[in-house]
Each structure stands twice: as structure tokens, then as C-alpha cells.
């Protein structure tokens, strides 16, 4: 029984944004995240690193250890740890501490990947009770999830298209243009052109090649509208009956429920 008491208390502090202790904890967490990201950015500046590198290294480790303890507490204070571990925020929390530890095993600048912990600031929407933003974020995630198969088909179609176009450009340009030295290089050109990026490092010099390039450029503008239309359609559908609040389930930590919800819509546990 004692175990449940301390777990419930930790859950209230860490997961709940409605209580004074929970709000204070989340505000302190966000401040720590921002300070740790600033320390990482400063460490990447050679002149600052040369003078304060050791201090910044210690600061980074201090924040990493604190975030590690917090991550462990988030796991032990809920009854279904996997629901948090494999959630979006759970994965971000883990990724935010791994780079520093990997830096002990792998030399280089991999520890700068800890900058991903800035994503944890997304919790500010719960803390400040910006319910309208939570609602919009939930709608967007729902729409993207519903669109994933259509987007996948569209992506596969584009891959086939740039492969064919790249191969055609290789046939047309390679005899006179050394830039198009292989089909993979030509596919790279097709991707850059059809996405309207246009780096300019590869360009056709034959009249036929330029004609094909013009078609690919115009095709690129037409293609851009497709994924936008897919997501917009799903967004319209996802707008219906979307309600969220900050009430967190003590069993699985899910925190998107209707305002009058009594039980968790994911695991059925009483809220």
C-alpha cells in the first residue's frame, strides 16, 4: 500500500499539470531543457568551447543525469510503463539523454544530438492550459495518421517517376554532359528538380535535355499540391468531435481525453 502512495504522489507531480506541484515541476523541467540546449549550443562555438569547454561539459552531464532520473521516475510511477516508453514523448525523453551517454563510447560530435531534447518543450501546451493548441495538435496528428497510406502511395509514385525521368536524362545528357555521369546521379538531379529545390550543381546543356527539365519543373509544381490536398482532406474529417484536456491516466499516462471522461479511453482505468 505504501508503494502505491509514493507512486501516486510522484505521478501527481510528474504527469499532472493541474496541481501546484505538477505545474511547478513542469515549469522547472522546461527551464532546465532550455538551459541545457543553450549549453549545448554554446559548447559548439569554438571560442567559447576553448575557454569554458570543461564547465559546459559538466553542465551537460548534470542535466543529463537529472533527465535520466526523471525518465526513470516516469516509468516507475505508472502501472503500464510500456505505454509511456513507446509513446511519442517517451521516445523523445529517451533520445534526449542517449547522445550524452553514447559520447562516452563514440568519439566525435554525436553528443550534440542531445539538442533533440528541445522537443520536450512541447509540454508547455499542457502546463499553460492552452487547450486550443492541444486540440489543434491532436487534430493534426490524427489527420497525418489517417493520411499515411495515401502519402505512402504518393511517395512511391514519386520515386518511380524520378527514377524514370533520371534515366531518360542520363540517356539524353550523358554523351555530351559529364555532370550526368550515371543513372543515380541523374536521379539525384530529378529529385532536386521535381521538388523545386534547384541547387544548380547539375544542369542539362542539350536542347532536348532542357526541354525535359522544363517539363519536370512544371510537373514539380503540380505534384506539390497532391500531399497538401491529402492532408487537408483528412484534417477536415479529423476536426469533428475532437476534445482534449490535461487529465493524465495514472495507469498508462495517456492525457488526451474528453472533458467529461471518467475512464481512460486507452486502457479503461478510472481517471
Rounded to whole angstroms, the Cα distance separating 235 from 107 reads: 44
Rounded to whole angstroms, the Cα distance separating 166 from 180 reads: 9
| Mean pLDDT value across the chain | 82
Is the model's pLDDT at 192 over the cut of 90? yes
Q: Where in the chain is the domain with CATH 1.10.287.70?
A: 140-238
Is the model's pLDDT at 2 over the cut of 50? no
Contact yes or no for 135/242 (Cβ under 8 A): yes
**CATH entry, 2-129, from 1.10.3720.10, 1.20.120.350, 3.40.630.10, 3.40.50.510:** 1.20.120.350
Is the model's pLDDT at 202 over the cut of 80? yes
- Structurally, at CATH architecture level, domain 140-238 sits in Orthogonal Bundle (1.10)
Contact yes or no for 244/138 (Cβ under 8 A): yes
| Count of Cβ atoms closer than 10 Å to residue 153 Cβ | 11
Cα-based distances in Å from 215 to 169, 181, 188, 208, 219: 12, 21, 16, 11, 6
Q: Where in the chain is the domain with CATH 1.20.120.350?
A: 2-129
Rounded to whole angstroms, the Cα distance separating 264 from 253 reads: 9
CA 250 to centroid of chain Cα atoms:
25
Helix (H) or strand (E) holding 144: helix 131-173
Contact yes or no for 149/156 (Cβ under 8 A): no
Range ranked top by mean pLDDT from 67-71, 226-230, 248-252? 67-71
Amino acid at each position: 500500500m505504501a508503494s502505491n502512495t509514493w507512486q501516486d504522489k510522484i505521478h501527481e507531480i510528474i504527469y499532472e499539470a493541474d496541481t501546484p506541484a505538477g505545474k511547478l515541476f513542469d515549469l522547472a523541467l522546461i527551464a532546465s531543457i532550455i538551459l541545457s540546449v543553450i549549453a549545448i549550443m554554446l559548447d559548439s562555438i569554438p571560442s567559447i568551447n576553448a575557454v569554458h569547454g570543461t564547465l559546459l561539459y559538466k553542465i551537460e552531464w548534470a542535466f543529463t543525469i537529472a533527465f535520466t532520473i526523471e525518465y526513470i521516475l516516469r516509468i516507475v510511477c505508472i502501472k503500464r510503463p510500456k505505454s509511456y516508453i513507446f509513446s511519442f514523448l517517451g521516445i523523445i525523453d529517451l533520445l534526449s539523454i542517449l547522445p550524452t551517454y553514447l559520447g562516452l563510447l563514440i568519439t566525435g560530435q554525436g553528443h550534440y544530438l542531445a539538442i533533440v531534447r528541445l522537443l520536450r518543450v512541447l509540454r508547455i501546451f499542457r502546463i499553460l492550459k492552452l487547450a486550443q493548441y492541444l486540440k489543434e495538435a491532436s487534430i493534426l496528428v490524427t489527420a497525418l495518421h489517417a493520411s499515411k497510406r495515401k502519402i505512402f502511395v504518393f511517395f512511391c509514385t514519386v520515386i518511380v517517376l524520378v527514377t524514370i525521368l533520371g534515366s531518360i536524362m542520363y540517356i539524353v545528357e550523358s554523351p555530351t554532359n559529364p555532370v550526368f555521369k550515371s543513372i543515380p546521379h541523374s536521379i539525384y538531379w530529378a529529385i532536386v528538380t521535381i521538388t523545386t529545390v534547384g541547387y544548380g550543381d547539375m544542369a542539362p546543356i542539350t536542347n532536348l535535355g532542357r526541354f525535359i527539365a522544363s517539363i519536370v519543373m512544371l510537373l514539380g509544381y503540380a505534384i506539390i499540391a497532391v500531399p497538401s490536398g491529402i492532408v487537408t482532406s483528412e484534417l477536415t474529417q479529423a476536426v469533428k468531435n475532437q476534445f482534449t484536456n490535461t487529465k493524465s491516466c495514472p495507469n498508462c499516462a495517456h492525457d488526451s481525453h474528453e472533458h467529461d471522461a471518467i475512464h481512460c479511453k486507452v486502457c479503461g482505468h478510472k481517471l
